[in-house]
Amino acid sequence: MLQLKPLDPIVPIQQQLGQAQAPVVLINVFSVDAKDIDALLKAWENDANWMKRQPGYISTQLHRGIAGSCVFLNYALWESVAHFRQAFTHPEFMKTLGAYPSSAVASPHLFEKLAVPNLCTA
């Protein structure tokens, strides 16, 4: 079963789910034992395909740390917190968390895109 660990213990994902904001970026950092990487990838692929069919989903991209790292980063775009909350708390999705290996730890967190002059557009 996937263990959830806050990326920001002061403002955990559960607190963020109560916000009314749009759009949002989900960053989810996973760590897993090397022997469980294939199981993590299979479980993530299953979840990503389920999320892809949910209202408000825009896109996702999974990244892996280099040099043999067992850390993965998922970057997903959602139309709103409300859409993400509906998918993330759905009983069908919650059941899928049991497919992750016991060594897997996830740290999901929602972000907003910022504008920084001459560097980033909002």
Give the model confidence (pLDDT) of 60-114 as tens digits: 999 999 999 999 999 999 999 999 999 999 999 999 999 999 999 999 999 999 9
pLDDT of 22-72, one tens digit each? Answer: 999 999 999 999 999 999 999 999 999 999 999 999 999 999 999 999 999
Residue 11, phi then psi, degrees to nearest 5: -130, 80
Q: What is the distance between the alpha carbons of residues 108 and 38, in angstroms, rounded to a whole number?
A: 20
CA atoms within 13 A on the CB side of 91: 0
- Which domain, by its residues, includes 57? 3-111
Angle at 38 between CA 95 and CA 27, to 5 degrees: 60
Residue at 41 is within a domain: yes
Is 93 contained in some domain?
Answer: yes
- The structural domain count of the chain equals 1
- Indicate whether 120 belongs to any domain: no
Decide if 121 is inside a domain.
no
CATH number of the CATH domain containing 18: 3.30.70.100
